């Protein structure tokens, strides 16, 4: 059986190899010239960046050059498995070496919270004051209320030791089609509050500053060999984004940055531009303030990996260069998304589980019309940031293009990928899978 599985993986690696798009969805060049709007700009000219975390990042043996490469790819926080596992005395020098090397590359490190109960007073002070320390990792994907209660007590104890650095717990996403491994997370339809809603609310009571969640939506249909979206993804974003807004916490959300073959037969393809845009722009439209990638370097678990950003030998793949390109694209739009408030979120076309259909009567008065056609529709999010307002449209179809056209009064503009205001124009915009169109106006 193992030999058969390996053969399947090798064939799939060959079939799904790609780095930029899904083939037929080549971006159309609009014939209408983009005309910058004069005497108007976004209010946020701070240059602040969106934090970007590399999960499964560089371990204790990583070199300074490896950290500098990570920073060059656009990451700001490193999370490595061997810094979060049970501490050992002979690992103490490696812990501080890793922190020093990250600092030299202007990166932050996340460190396992268990170190705080292990280090002597001198090393504990050294850790707490280290400029590269980002925060403390507690647990990934707790799935029972007992786990949440235990984590709550642990976080409270750690906060008494160090209240200056964040604690980090990451949630699993909801599977609205049922699950055999986390029964308390099932439930995307029916009478609210659903089991997942209740679980997220309990998680949000823990004294950490974020609601972090993973759900990797882009998979391969083994029958059609086309990409499809895994059930429960937008439902997960709905529930976690809503709770983040209710509690005033930041939403942290993931994209998958590697090909992945799971023992249960699920196949995640090598990520393309379309795949990463769909995941990250959806995250941002739902209010994500920290972007996370899984994984940077493959781990030793039971999954079979294909083309991660960095191989286990430390070599860059084409995925590394793709992430570098995409992170630059996302950061250019930081003046839109960073510290923005989500007013509402809706969808058009095929409405995902747990989501609401766009009611055009909700559109701000600056719009006269908004037409979205083709594909399976779009995600539409209204954001505000001081005197700046943004209507974000994301193509939520992973396979087909959509067309977006708006008309409005003279105060309505469109932003390009560099967050530069443009005159609205008269032509419809073609959005490839996962791509974005941002409308902008001032109060």
Is-contact 288 342, C-beta < 8 A? no
Q: What is the pLDDT of residue 230?
A: 85
The overall average pLDDT reported for the chain is 89
Chain segment 294-326, per-residue pLDDT in tens: 999 987 665 688 899 999 888 999 999 999 999
CATH code for the domain defined by 342-442 = 2.60.40
Looking at domain 43-339, what is its CATH homologous superfamily?
Glycosidases (3.20.20.80)
Residues in Cβ contact with 61 at an 8 Å cutoff, skipping those fewer than 6 apart: 94
Asked if 43-339 and 342-442 have one fold, the answer is no
Q: What is the pLDDT of residue 177?
A: 54
How crowded is residue 222: how many other Cβ atoms within 10 Å of its Cβ? 11
Write out the E strands in 257-329.
Answer: 259-261, 267-268, 288-294, 304-306
Containing 199, the helix (H) or strand (E) segment is helix 195-204
Residue with tokens 């999010």, as numbered in its chain: 381
Q: What is the pLDDT of residue 19?
A: 41
244 in helix, strand or coil?
Answer: helix
DSSP 8-state secondary structure symbol assigned to residue 161: H
Q: What is the pLDDT of residue 139?
A: 96
Kindly tell me the sign of the dihedral angle through the C-alpha atoms of 16, 17, 23, 29. Answer: positive
Give pLDDT < 50 ranges for the chain: 1-30, 178-181, 183, 189, 191-192
Burial of 209 (0-12, 13-18, 19+ CB in 10 A): middle
For the chain, which residues make up each domain, given as ranges?
43-339, 342-442
Q: What is the pLDDT of residue 16?
A: 40
Give the alpha-carbon dihedral of 386, 391, 392, 396, to 10 degrees.
140
Residues in Cβ contact with 157 at an 8 Å cutoff, skipping those fewer than 6 apart: none
Q: What is the pLDDT of residue 8?
A: 37
How crowded is residue 13: how many other Cβ atoms within 10 Å of its Cβ? 17
């Amino acid at each position: 059986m193992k030999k058969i599985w390996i053969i399947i993986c090798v064939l799939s690696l060959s079939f799904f190899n790609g780095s930029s798009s899904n083939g037929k969805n080549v971006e159309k060049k609009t014939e209408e010239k983009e005309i910058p709007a004069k005497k108007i700009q976004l209010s946020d000219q701070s240059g602040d960046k969106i934090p970007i975390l590399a999960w499964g990042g560089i371990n204790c043996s990583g070199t300074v050059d490896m950290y500098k490469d990570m920073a060059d790819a656009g990451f700001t926080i490193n999370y490595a498995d061997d810094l979060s596992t049970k501490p050992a005395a002979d690992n103490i020098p490696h812990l501080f070496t890793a922190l020093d090397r990250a600092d030299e590359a202007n990166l932050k490190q996340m460190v396992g919270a268990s170190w705080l109960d292990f280090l002597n007073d001198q090393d504990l002070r050294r850790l707490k004051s280290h400029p590269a320390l980002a925060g403390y990792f507690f647990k990934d994907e707790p799935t029972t209320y007992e786990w949440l209660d235990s984590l709550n007590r642990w976080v409270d104890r750690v906060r008494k030791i160090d209240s200056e650095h964040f604690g980090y717990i990451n949630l699993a996403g909801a599977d609205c089609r049922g699950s055999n491994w986390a029964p308390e997370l099932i439930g995307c339809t029916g009478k609210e509050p659903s089991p997942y809603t209740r679980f997220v609310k309990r998680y949000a009571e823990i004294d950490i500053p974020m609601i972090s969640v993973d759900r990797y939506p882009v998979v391969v249909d083994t029958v059609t060999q086309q990409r499809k979206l895994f059930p429960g993804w937008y439902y997960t974003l709905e529930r976690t984004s809503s709770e983040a807004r209710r509690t005033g916490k930041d939403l942290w959300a993931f994209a998958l940055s590697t090909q992945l073959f799971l023992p249960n037969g699920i196949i995640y393809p090598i990520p393309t531009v379309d795949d990463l845009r769909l995941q990250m722009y959806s995250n941002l439209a739902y209010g994500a303030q920290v972007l996370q990638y899984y994984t940077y370097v493959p781990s030793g678990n039971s999954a079979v990996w294909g083309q991660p950003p960095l191989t286990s030998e430390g070599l860059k793949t084409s995925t590394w260069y793709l992430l570098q390109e995409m992170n630059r694209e996302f950061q250019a739009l930081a003046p839109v998304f960073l510290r923005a408030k989500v007013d509402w979120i809706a969808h058009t076309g095929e409405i995902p589980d747990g989501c609401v259909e766009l009611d055009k009567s909700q559109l701000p008065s600056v719009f006269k019309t908004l037409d979205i056609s083709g594909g399976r529709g779009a995600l539409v999010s209204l954001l505000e940031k001081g005197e700046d307002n943004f209507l974000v449209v994301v193509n939520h179809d992973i396979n087909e293009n959509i067309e977006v056209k708006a008309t409005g009064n003279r105060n309505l503009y469109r932003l390009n990928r560099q967050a530069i205001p443009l005159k609205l124009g008269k032509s419809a915009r073609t959005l490839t899978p996962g791509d974005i169109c941002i409308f902008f106006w001032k109060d």
